[in-house]
Structure 1
Amino acid sequence: FRSIIFSSKATIRISPNSTYKIYDALFALEENIITSENSFISCPQQNYPFESWNEDQTLFSAMNSSVNWYFQALDAKLGKSNLQSYIEQIGYGNQNINGELSSYWMESSLKISPIEQVELLKSLYFNDFGFTPENIQTTKESIQLFSDVNCTIYGKTGTGCIEEKNVNGWFIGFVESKNHTYFFATNIQAIDNATGSIASEITLSILSDMNIYKL
């Protein structure tokens, strides 16, 4: 089934922020910049705003802590030409990466709607892209958040910050249950305090109300 809440906003494109890291990781895996066995990148400096960022990273740790410098390092190795090709291949939102290479996905040129987020997640899940199956699986595993006997939840948050205000919060992903897979994309916007963590809380509450996931 399809359920759209606040549907008037569902087709409006906005910056993906850290939700884009799912696909950034996939592109880097496809280019063999990182692999499922070796995704280590050493920390380039020690003065990042979050303690977890001031450490060496693997894909899994970087995705878990949403470490910007890790994915910026992947982009630097991928290069804009490769990135543009991949963005066009998967049909990511407005396909515009004209912003700075280090920040085109952070309240910049690249934009995507909630509906497009869901459609892309479905394409990722079923590998409609025709990418290496191992790379698809590694990407999925990197965003696994929770698993029990009833379901497994995969997801990625994103928070957009403008002038030190959190104005754009995302949580996207999918839930595997015994009989179904459910895809979701939640976006919240405000003058401040619109964070990925709040979008995540809202999403899990909705999934619980729909008896897809039990809080």
Structure 2
Amino acid sequence: MRWIPVFLLSLFLLTAASTPLVPAVVERSFQPQFDQYGVRGSFLLYDEPAGQYVAYNLKRCRQRFLPASTFKIPNTLIGLQTGALPDTATICKWDGMKRSFQQWNQDMSYAQALRVSCVPCYQQLARRIGVARYRQWLPRLGYPGMVVTPATLDTFWLDGKSQISQFEQVNFLRRLQAETLPVEKRHQRAVQQILILKKTAEYTLYGKTGWRFRSARNPDNGWLVGWITRANGRRAFFALNIEPKPGPVNDDQFIASRRAVTEAVLRELKWL
């Protein structure tokens, strides 16, 4: 009956070999970096060379929030892949309605619209894409938690029931950077190019901000998601989510804090 243990051992080894390893999570405190800019929240980084996550406020990193303008990343990909957006140089015509963000009050390309986070431009795009194509493509992209209905077609990423976690944001970005999404590679590369925030001889920083405006029910909520590629090929992917500390909110300070906190944490981790 010696074959039984050998068989069981073989089965165990086969199962172990076919089961993907779950990256370890190392918890770190970055509270001084958050305190410096008057915010609270969480930070998640996937260290690709180490094959592990680094998390500040791990429980919150698993919590889901509205994606706000970080949704412009999958939105652009879906637009390009479906033909609703011919290319990122396509001009979004200003509708003539003056808004508080002055940079939105003009015609602009969709590349520029992503960089200045022009909500009206992407609402125009959403109406061209339509509910059916979102429901088809969001599962294909593995971008979870979005609730798209005819009534919320041009607002579902800004308000309502749509939610995504920092882990889910990072996992999506890893596939975008690796160009393994079920979207033509030229479209994935086009989106990567317009996500570049800074390029130096030492590194390239990619990212997209998001801001869920405060309401009677909800506080401000801010995002910065992206990745950094060092000149030697090392990469790390990150997702920051923050809220102001209790008290009066300085909008300009809160807007700036998303990138400031992210870069402070990346410096602490020796990526910048």
Same fold flag (TM > 0.5): yes
How much identity, in percent, do the aligned residues show? Answer: 22
Paired residue secondary structure (1:170): strand
Does 1:111 find its partner at 2:163?
Answer: yes
Gaps of 5+ in 2: 1-49
Please report how far the alpha carbon of residue 79 of structure 1 lies from its aligned counterpart in structure 2 after TM superposition: 0.3
Q: C-alpha separation between the residues in 1 aligned to 2:88 and 2:204? A: 23
Paired residue secondary structure (2:91): coil
Q: C-alpha separation between the residues in 2 aligned to 1:119 and 1:196? A: 25
Does 1:9 find its partner at 2:60?
Answer: yes
When Rg is computed on C-alpha atoms for both structures, the one with the higher figure is: 2
Picking from 242, 256, 261, the partner of 1:202 is 261
Please report how far the alpha carbon of residue 51 of structure 1 lies from its aligned counterpart in structure 2 after TM superposition: 1.1
Q: C-alpha separation between the residues in 1 aligned to 2:214 and 2:69? A: 14
Please report how far the alpha carbon of residue 104 of structure 1 lies from its aligned counterpart in structure 2 after TM superposition: 0.4
- Give the 3 Å change call, closer, same or farther, for CA 193–116 of structure 1 in structure 2: farther
- Give the 3 Å change call, closer, same or farther, for CA 66–166 of structure 1 in structure 2: farther
Larger strand proportion of the pair: 2
Q: C-alpha separation between the residues in 2 aligned to 1:76 and 1:106? A: 15
Does 1:85 find its partner at 2:144?
Answer: no
Q: C-alpha separation between the residues in 1 aligned to 2:64 and 2:171? A: 14
Deviations 1:189-210 (CA, angstroms, capped at 9, x unpaired): 2455684531221111011111
Which shifted more, 4-13 or 192-201?
192-201
2:146 match: 95
1:135 match: 187
Does 1:183 find its partner at 2:183?
Answer: no
Q: C-alpha separation between the residues in 1 aligned to 2:240 and 2:267? A: 14
Q: CA RMSD in A?
A: 1.9
Q: TM-score, normalised by structure 1?
A: 0.92
Does 1:211 find its partner at 2:270?
Answer: yes
Q: TM-score, normalised by structure 2?
A: 0.73
Q: C-alpha separation between the residues in 1 aligned to 2:123 and 2:197? A: 23
**Conserved 8 A contact 2:166-2:239:** yes
Q: C-alpha separation between the residues in 2 aligned to 1:163 and 1:53? A: 22
* Higher-RCO chain (CA-CA 8 Å, sequence separation at least 6): 2
Picking from 132, 141, 146, the partner of 2:198 is 146
Does 1:69 find its partner at 2:120?
Answer: yes
Aligned amino acid, residue 50 of structure 1:
F
- Give the 3 Å change call, closer, same or farther, for CA 118–193 of structure 1 in structure 2: farther
**Conserved 8 A contact 1:186-1:199:** yes
